[in-house]
Structure 1
Amino acid sequence: MGRADTARARGRLVESTPTRATMFGLSAAHLQVLLDGARKWFLIGNVASAPAQLFIDAPFGRFTPSEHSVFLVDGIKAWIVMELVSPAFFLYALFSGPNAHPPALGSPKSILVGAFLVHYFNRALVSPLRTPSRSKAHLIVPLCAVAFNTLNGSLMGAFLTSPTPPAPAPYFYAGLALWALGFAGNIAHDEILLNIRRRAKDKPKDKPKGEHYAIPHGLLYRFVSYPNYFCEWCEWLGFAVAADPRLVSALFSGSLLSGGFSMASASAALRGPAANFLPFVSAPWVFLISEVVLMFPRAYRGHRWYHDTFGDKYPKERKIAVPFVL
């Protein structure tokens, strides 16, 4: 076979080799459209559903329904399963996203990959496995969490393989420091709650079972009922700043608000292409906003429960979740 035949054979081989499949077997272009739509409607859905949750108790923990319900599941096992979904889809998107170029080891984005995985290693495995007891949860809770974590993990993993430039060093290191501070605070305040559960487990056998609630004290519990929520918000705020500070820069420069706001502009944003929807609000900011709007109603309901349960014994000066503010 001559050189021309060899070249033609090699050409046919290259042409016949299928392009590497991305997530769910979709092409990169179709997958990008899917991810843009997911980012848009994931944020809209979370924000739209948040107000109703101010009036509804999520059926887990202290608000678990009757023990006789057939829809109750083990609290610890359900927690592990639903939280492992996020890092699983994160890693899948990281290696199968539309760009599919995981960040180089030691790069800023690779550090953020590590930060995300460290958070979920603690949240999905370390924390629940160290919990001496956890109330059962209604099946709807892990199902909703699996849906949330599937979308969020996929969006975050795909974002960290995107070609967006790394954050300038001041933003990156300031954000990473805030992430670390929030992560440490989250663990410290969760440890206070775990100690309450451990003391409850050591009660004499004749004491009622399941009564592992008490007034927590120490650190930011002096100021708020849910400092672990506040620390988690700080954690993901730092992550968002380190991952994509464009929103912060736009706010400081005033360019984000320079166009003003009207119902017409809001309607156009909703009806327009998903890729053009709030371009500064990338996946890390979607995660942060979603966490705040969905967790605050739970904190509000829990804050009221503390006052209703402990009455005058509960410190009246404590805010809900943000020290001195709310």
Structure 2
Amino acid sequence: MDTILSWLFSSEEQELYILNCMAYLMNFMAAFTFVSLFFHKVPYGRYASSKYGFPVNVKFAWFVQELPSLLLPLCLVFWTSSSKTSLLPNQLLIAMFLCHYVQRALIFPFLIRGGKATPFLSFALAFVFCIYNGYMQVRYLSHYAEYPADWVTSPRFITGSALWLVGWLMNLHSDHILRNLRKPGETGYKIPRGGMFEYVSGANFLGEITEWAGFALAGHSAHSSAFSIFTAVVLANRAVAHHKWYLAKFEDYPKSRKALIPFLF
């Protein structure tokens, strides 16, 4: 890996400059996505459409598209001169990132029951994004990020880590509820109930948004912040679309339930 990185970048200063540019570009992508999603839904799941390419098996799609966010960071940590991986703040932040993608790439896809195929374009874009973001997050943390000696006991890191954990657990629990909505042999959609679904339609999305907001707070970098913003833009739109769909689909859908933020939105 060091040979590849030295071929790509003439110096560490150049690589850090590129990493910073990647963070700024992701913020631009978030703004562009925010506008474009007013006109188009993210085309996967119940909104999948053949105009976005041939269908890819949903389990295969989730496994392959998420895998770069696990494998590439592991290569960067173990097969490069990762000068910051001996530092506790960096270790903990990398562990947060990897913990999410171990579950997302190696566990979540194989627990999916049914599920619509993913259009190829959505699959391909997600795959590219995971390469882009996996490199940006973990290369910065493993080789460039510097934190004060007492960073792990600072209010910012403690609060961010707590938010990450709450969001991660909320996401896992919400996915569990969604997987178990239908009994074996049943088809069709049902109203999710229990957990944070009692308050919002997009409980799983709220969990992941909270998770990466906590990661950004604990990491305190342009790179983690850009990822958090991009995630919030995409998943907030998804939550609103789901909420509207549920209201139109079910006459008895709880009217007090919000789309994403309990009691507010």
Q: Same fold (TM over 0.5)?
A: yes
The match for 1:158 is: 139
* Corresponding position of 1:226: 202
Which residue number in structure 2 is paired with residue 128 of structure 1? 109
Match of 2:168 among 177, 183, 186: 183
Residues 225-259 of structure 1, C-alpha deviations (whole Å, 9 max, x = no match): 00111111111121122222xxxxxxxxxxxxxxx
3-state secondary structure, aligned to 2:37: helix
Structure with bigger gyration radius: 1
Equivalent of 2:98 in 99, 112, 117:
117
Structure 2: unaligned runs, 5 residues or longer: none
Please list the CA deviations of residues 269-290 of structure 1 after superposition, one character each: whole Å capped at 9, or x if unmatched. Answer: xxxxxxxxxxxx5111111111
For residues 218 and 196 of structure 1, what CA distance do their matches in structure 2 show?
A: 11
Q: Which amino acid aligns with 1:51?
A: V
Task: Describe the shift of the 1:92–1:50 C-alpha distance in structure 2 as closer, same or farther (beyond 3 A).
Answer: farther
- Counterpart position of 2:119: 138
Partner of residue 193, structure 1:
178
CA contact 2:258–2:264 (8 Å) conserved in 1: yes
Distance 2:166 2:120 in 1: 33
- Structure 1 partner of 2:85: 103
Preserved CA contact (<8 Å) 2:243 2:259:
yes
In the alignment, the residues of structure 1 paired with residue 30 and residue 107 of structure 2 have an alpha-carbon distance, to the nearest angstrom, of: 28
In the TM superposition, what whole-angstrom CA distance separates every residue of 1:60-101 from its partner, at most 9, and x where no partner exists? 2111235x996111011011100111122333444677x731
- Describe the SS at the equivalent of 1:44: helix
Contact kept in structure 2, 1:95 and 1:102, CA below 8 Å: no
The residue aligned with 1:51 is: 35
Q: CA offsets, 1:87-132, max 9 Å, x none?
A: 22333444677x7314117x12212211211111111121111122
Give, in whole Å, the separation in 1 of the partners of 2:34 and 2:6: 30
Q: Which sits farther off after the overlay, 83-92 or 144-153?
A: 83-92
Which whole-Å CA distance do the structure 2 matches of 1:26 and 1:96 have between them? 17
Distance 2:7 2:246 in 1: 45
CA distance in 2, matches of 1:115, 1:141: 25
Query: Are positions 1:91 and 2:30 aligned together?
Result: no
Distance 2:53 2:152 in 1: 53
Q: CA deviation at 1:318?
A: 1.2
Offset, 1:23: 6.2
RMSD of aligned residue pairs (Cα, Å): 2.3
Match of 1:325 in 2: 264
Could you tell me which runs of 5 or more consecutive residues in structure 1 were left unpaired when the two chains were aligned.
Answer: 1-18, 204-210, 245-280
TM-score by length of 1: 0.73
Q: Counterpart in 2 of 1:286?
A: 226
Q: How many residues align?
A: 259
Give 1:307's aligned residue.
247
Displacement of 1:314 = 1.0
Residue 295 (structure 1) aligns with: 235
**1:42–1:151 contact (8 Å) kept in structure 2:** no
Find the aligned partners of 1:143 and 1:173 in 2 and give their Cα distance. Answer: 36
TM-score w.r.t. length of structure 2: 0.89
